[in-house]
């Protein structure tokens, strides 16, 4: 199997590349022998492949993975061996991609691989943090417990993402309605009144002239404006594909007014739960941090975690490096410090995660409650200005007559 990696070399420079290896552990060892410290490591998938096309048309839903974890835990507790349990679950699954993945996993288990090693070959469905946790569960004999903990962890993650989508859906719909109303008024309503006022030759009020001139400009240069906006959007999207653009975008998403704090709370709660899950499984922080970094989807948070990892390896602990970065909120830093001092880091991190999830939910509901009337007032304001310009023109003409 070919793996693609992002790593630091001996000079501290960030490098990228690919290398063939039997599994992820072997790839990590090869990088270590070459003097590289891996930051991100995953199987290389060609741009065009049958597996990729299948995954695109039949994506694996997170709910399918959660159900798989819970059902596998029940079957293993009932005394069914791992191969038999996997075969039973594979027969019940309707998703083609997941069915194919589980077929390959069963084949690997039959050839002598452990469940965690077999699942690690499919990082799209089973990320490294999940596979590493299951590996610890296999070693300690608590595989069923770890499966349930992973299911709970992913359910919390899905709930956090849904809260963000819920906060964005209503403003997007309201903005779409506002744009549609403006287009109808500019395209159909205002031109009819402009022709009427022009035929009468009356002197129009200032607000009416401004609205009609703006409408005429939009009709005359609307296509150019749309093309210009489209070009700007394409340039912005292209920039966000670059490392610097992606970092700046992710940083903005965590620091933007109102919604940024909600995003940050959700990212930090996910980070806390991930560390707690792996710490409970028995992994040391030196092994936990690379997995947390690899599982982070936000480049700004990834960089912050890399900085924390580097300082932690220097012997500064976990809370002290976190205190240097504003992305880690004071409560999290203080609770991590308490957890380090008392030896209950997993418990304190779970408490932080629950607190942040509750706060994020409260802020999301408050934001939705604020956005609804704000967007209604904005739409009413646009329509009101147009209506006022038309009515004032009528009164002006009556006065002149």
CATH topology of 52-126 equal to that of 155-401? yes
> Burial letters for 281-297: b for 16+ Cβ neighbours within 10 Å, e otherwise?
bebebeebbbbbbbbbe
3-state secondary structure of 257: coil
pLDDT value at residue 333: 92
pLDDT value at residue 348: 92
296 torsion bin: left (phi>0), alpha (psi -120 to 50), beta (else): beta
pLDDT value at residue 360: 85
pLDDT value at residue 226: 85
For the domain with range 155-401, which CATH number is right: 3.40.50.300, 1.20.81.30, 1.10.15.40, 3.40.30.10?
1.20.81.30
pLDDT value at residue 376: 77
Distances (CA, A) of 13 to 38, 44, 78, 88: 12, 22, 51, 48
Distances (CA, A) of 316 to 249, 253, 323, 340: 30, 29, 11, 12
Q: How far apart are CA 152 and CA 131, in angstroms?
A: 15
pLDDT value at residue 53: 53
| Owner of token pair 């809370």 | 319
pLDDT tens digits, the chain, 401 residues: what are they?
Answer: 677 888 888 777 778 888 777 677 778 888 887 778 887 777 776 655 555 555 556 688 888 899 999 999 999 988 889 889 999 988 888 888 888 889 989 998 988 888 988 888 888 888 888 888 888 888 878 888 888 888 888 888 787 777 767 666 777 777 787 778 777 777 777 777 777 666 666 677 787 778 778 777 877 887 888 899 899 999 988 988 888 888 999 999 898 887 888 889 988 988 898 888 888 878 888 888 888 888 788 889 999 999 999 999 888 889 999 999 999 999 999 999 999 888 888 899 989 988 998 898 888 888 877 777 877 787 788 778 877 877 777 777 666 65
pLDDT value at residue 198: 66
| Every domain of the chain and the residues it spans | 2-44, 52-126, 155-401
pLDDT value at residue 165: 73
pLDDT value at residue 50: 52
pLDDT value at residue 46: 60
CB-based contacts of 132-138 (< 8 A; 24+ apart in sequence)? 132/278, 132/281, 132/283, 132/287, 132/291, 133/277, 133/278, 133/281, 136/278, 136/281, 136/282, 136/283, 137/281, 138/114
**With the C-alpha atoms ordered 359, 361, 363, 365, is the resulting torsion angle positive or negative?**
negative
CB 153 within 8 A of CB 353: no
3-state secondary structure of 37: strand
Nearest to 25 by CA among 140, 143, 132: 132
Query: Is CATH 1.20.81.30 what the domain over 52-126 is classified as, yes or no?
Result: yes
Q: How far apart are CA 244 and CA 255, in angstroms?
A: 16
**With the C-alpha atoms ordered 143, 144, 149, 150, is the resulting torsion angle positive or negative?**
positive
pLDDT value at residue 332: 92
């Amino acid at each position: 199997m070919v793996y693609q990696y992002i790593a630091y070399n001996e000079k501290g420079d960030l490098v990228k590349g690919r290398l063939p290896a039997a599994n992820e552990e072997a790839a990590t060892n090869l990088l270590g022998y070459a003097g590289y410290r891996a930051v991100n490591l995953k199987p290389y998938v060609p741009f065009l492949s049958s597996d990729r096309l299948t995954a695109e048309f039949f994506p694996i839903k997170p709910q399918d993975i959660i159900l798989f974890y819970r059902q596998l835990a029940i079957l293993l507790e009932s005394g069914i061996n791992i191969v038999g349990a996997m075969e039973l679950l594979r027969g019940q699954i309707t998703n083609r991609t997941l069915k194919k993945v589980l077929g390959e996993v069963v084949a690997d288990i039959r050839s002598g691989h452990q469940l965690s090693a077999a699942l690690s070959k499919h990082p799209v469905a089973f990320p490294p943090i999940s596979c590493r946790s299951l590996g610890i569960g296999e070693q300690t004999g608590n595989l069923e417990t770890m499966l349930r903990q992973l299911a709970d962890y992913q359910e919390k993650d899905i709930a956090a993402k849904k809260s963000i989508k819920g906060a964005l859906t209503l403003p997007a719909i309201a903005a779409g309605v506002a744009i549609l109303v403006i287009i109808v008024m500019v395209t159909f309503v205002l031109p009819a009144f402009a022709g009427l006022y022009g035929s009468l030759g009356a002197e129009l009020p200032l607000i009416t002239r401004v609205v009609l001139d703006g409408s005429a400009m939009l009709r005359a240069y609307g296509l150019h404006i749309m093309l210009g906006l489209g070009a700007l959007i394409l340039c912005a999207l292209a920039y966000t594909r670059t490392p610097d653009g992606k970092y700046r975008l992710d940083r903005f998403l965590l620091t933007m007014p109102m919604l940024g704090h909600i995003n940050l709370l959700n990212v930090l709660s996910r980070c806390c739960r991930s560390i707690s899950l792996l710490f409970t499984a028995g992994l040391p922080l030196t092994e936990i941090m690379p997995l947390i970094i690899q599982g982070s989807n936000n480049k700004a948070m990834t960089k912050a975690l890399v900085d924390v990892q580097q300082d932690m390896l220097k012997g500064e602990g976990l809370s002290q490096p976190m205190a240097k970065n504003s992305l880690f909120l004071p409560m999290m830093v203080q609770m991590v410090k308490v957890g380090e001092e008392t030896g209950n880091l997993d418990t304190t991190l779970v408490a932080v995660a629950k607190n942040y999830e509750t706060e994020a939910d409260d802020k999301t509901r408050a934001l939705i409650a604020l956005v609804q009337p704000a967007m209604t007032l904005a739409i009413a304001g646009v329509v009101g200005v147009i209506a006022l310009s038309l009515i004032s023109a009528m009164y002006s003409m009556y006065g002149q007559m």
